[in-house]
Amino acid sequence: MGALDSFALEGKVAFVTGGNAGLGKAMARGLAEAGADVAIAARRKDLLDEALAEILDGTGRRGFAVAADLSERREPDRAAREVLEALGRVDVLVSNAGANTPQPIDEVDDDTWEGVLNVHVRAAMALTRALAPQMKERRWGRIVYISSGLGFKGMAGRAAYTSAKAALLGLARSVAVDLGPYGITANCICPGMFLTDALRWLDEEQRARLEAAAALERAAEPRELVGPLLLLASDAGSYVSGTSLVVDGGWIIK
**pTM reported for the whole predicted model:** 0.95
User: Can you list the domains of the chain with their CATH numbers?
Assistant: 9-244 (3.40.50.720)
Alpha helix stretches (DSSP H) within the chain: 22-33, 45-56, 75-87, 110-117, 123-138, 159-179, 204-212, 226-233
Cβ partners under 8 Å of residue 133, min gap 6: none
Burial category of 251 from C-beta neighbours within 10 Å (exposed 0-12, middle 13-18, buried 19 and up)? buried
CB atoms within 10 A of CB 177: 12
Per-residue pLDDT of the chain (254 residues; tens, 9 = 90+): 788 999 999 999 999 999 999 999 999 999 999 999 999 999 988 889 999 999 999 999 999 999 999 999 999 999 999 999 999 999 999 999 988 877 788 788 888 889 899 999 999 999 999 999 999 999 999 999 999 988 888 777 788 899 999 999 999 999 999 999 999 999 999 999 998 876 766 778 888 888 999 999 999 999 999 999 999 999 999 999 999 999 999 999 98
Is 182 annotated as catalytic?
no
Q: Among residues 230, 228, 232, 226, which one has the least CA distance to residue 142?
A: 232
